[in-house]
């Protein structure tokens, strides 16, 4: 079986994919690198972090572990290096799954579904002043109101390991989100693509995935009702089944 490579998002580590790594490891070789903290040597992801250095780190990681062609599964910020890598090294990618992704993070007059630039600047200032408080508030945004009523934020505590992440890496991750715009490359995607998104995502609007679905040829879109930014945790069974069905449909 071709390997699965899970890519985490901003403010988290590979631990965020713990449930999926355990679930799929009985069928597939599973890999989940860290790129904002140092993994045991050899280290493939080195700062300063940009979309180019993350893409190159992915190439080095995949080449070292002989994973090509690989199924890439990227969440949130992790969907961006997945998308950039697929564009740059298409022969190394068997399929691409983008969970809670967006081709452009910030709002402007051409993309009304992004975060307002002022909110991102405020988050940067808060990180410099009080990292723990800023991340705790950010983590609350990962959940819909329905998920909060089910006390899911508390259950997710062991997946959200904020203290391991380097302060500079957090700021560089926000710089990536501030500048990234992958819209012009969406129509060039040649690999099977699955888009997964929570209907009530407060970080990356579900409209961002609908936009990608319209522009990525033959892509599939699955929307999770009453779901925020973490569909693979808050609706893990459905998420895993949808991803499994997609992978099983591939040659």
Specify the CATH number for the domain of residue 146: 3.40.50.1820
Q: Which parts of 25-151 fold into alpha helices (H)?
A: 51-64, 79-88, 117-129, 131-140, 145-149
- What is the model's pTM? 0.96
Q: In this predicted structure, what is the pLDDT of residue 164?
A: 75
Edge-first strand listing for the sheet containing 93-99: 30-31, 4-7, 70-75, 93-99, 193-198, 220-224
> Cis link prior to 185 (omega < 30° from 0)?
no
Distance between CA atoms of residues 156 and 131, nearest Å: 19
For residue 11, the enclosing domain spans 4-248
Residue 18 DSSP one-character state: H
Nearest-10 Cα torsion for 77, 159, 221, 150: -130
Q: Which residues of the chain are modeled with pLDDT < 70?
A: 38-39, 41, 161-163
Domain count along the chain: 1
**193-198 and 93-99 beta bridge pairing:** parallel
Does residue 203 sit in helix, strand or coil?
A: coil
Q: In this predicted structure, what is the pLDDT of residue 41?
A: 66
| pLDDT tens-place string over residues 148-168 | 999 999 989 878 866 678 889
Token code pair at residue 98: 């983008």
Q: Which parts of 103-223 fold into alpha helices (H)?
A: 117-129, 131-140, 145-149, 152-155, 167-179, 206-215
| pLDDT tens-place string over residues 25-50 | 999 999 999 988 866 767 888 889 99
Q: Are 71 and 2 in contact (CB under 8 A)?
A: yes
Q: By C-alpha distance, which of 21, 76, 73 is closest to 246?
A: 73
User: Across the chain, what does the average pLDDT equal?
Assistant: 95
């Amino acid at each position: 079986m071709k390997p699965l490579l899970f890519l985490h998002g901003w403010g988290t580590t590979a631990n965020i994919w713990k449930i999926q790594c355990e679930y799929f490891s009985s069928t597939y070789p599973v890999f989940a690198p860290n790129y904002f903290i140092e993994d045991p040597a050899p280290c493939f992801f080195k700062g300063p972090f940009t979309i180019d250095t993350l893409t190159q780190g992915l190439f080095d990681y995949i080449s070292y572990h002989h994973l090509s062609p690989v199924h890439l599964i990227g969440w949130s910020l992790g969907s961006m290096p997945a998308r950039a890598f697929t564009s740059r090294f298409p022969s190394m990618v068997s399929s691409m799954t983008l969970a809670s992704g967006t081709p452009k993070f910030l709002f402007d007059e051409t993309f009304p579904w992004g975060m307002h630039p002022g909110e991102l600047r405020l988050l940067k200032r808060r990180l410099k002043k009080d990292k723990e408080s800023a991340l705790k508030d950010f983590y609350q945004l990962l959940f819909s109101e329905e998920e909060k009523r089910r006390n899911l934020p508390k259950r997710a505590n062991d997946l959200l390991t904020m203290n391991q992440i380097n302060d500079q890496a957090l700021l560089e991750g926000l710089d990536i989100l501030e500048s990234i715009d992958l819209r012009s490359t969406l129509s060039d995607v040649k690999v099977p693509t699955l888009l997964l998104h929570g209907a009530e995502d407060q970080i990356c609007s579900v409209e961002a995935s609908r936009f990608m679905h319209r522009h990525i040829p033959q892509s599939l879109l699955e929307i999770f009702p009453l779901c925020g930014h973490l569909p693979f945790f808050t609706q893990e069974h459905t998420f895993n089944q949808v991803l499994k069905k997609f992978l099983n449909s591939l040659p």
